[in-house]
Amino acid sequence: QVQFVESGGGLVQPGGSLRLSCAASGQIFSRYAMAWYRQGPEKQREWVAMMNPAGFGNYADSIKGRFTISRDYAKTTLYLQMNSLKPEDTAVYYCNTFESPQNWGQGTQVTVSS
């Protein structure tokens, strides 16, 4: 069973930066597109960034130009570099496969506030 362990969240002021990490178990990294998702207060979970096994990345319009997704195959770890953070980025962030996500981890809380 694939498991995801997200880390790196915290409290940051508007305009600040954070780097999230997601350690994944199993054989998924070399086979599947991976993605970051987030769920803000009283909102549905939404996709924010994805990267396929070839290294092609794509981003939701709301974070384009501010966030960068990357993956380390040797460490089977997915990253999300978040810059120029805004209060509306406050959410619990999760990683999972881009297609048919399942077995959600606990996520990591990101709070952007002054």
Distance CA 53, CA 19 (A): 21
Residues with Cβ within 8 Å of residue 29, at least 6 apart in sequence: 53, 71, 73, 76, 78
Predicted pLDDT of residue 45: 96
Cβ contact 3:29 at 8 Å: no
Predicted pLDDT of residue 25: 75
Sign of CA dihedral 53, 57, 58, 63: positive
Specify the DSSP element, H or E, that contains 111: strand 108-112
pLDDT tens-digit map of 65-110? 999 999 998 889 999 999 999 999 999 999 999 998 988 999 999 9
pLDDT tens-digit map of 14-71? 999 999 999 987 677 778 899 999 999 999 999 999 999 899 999 999 999 999 999 9
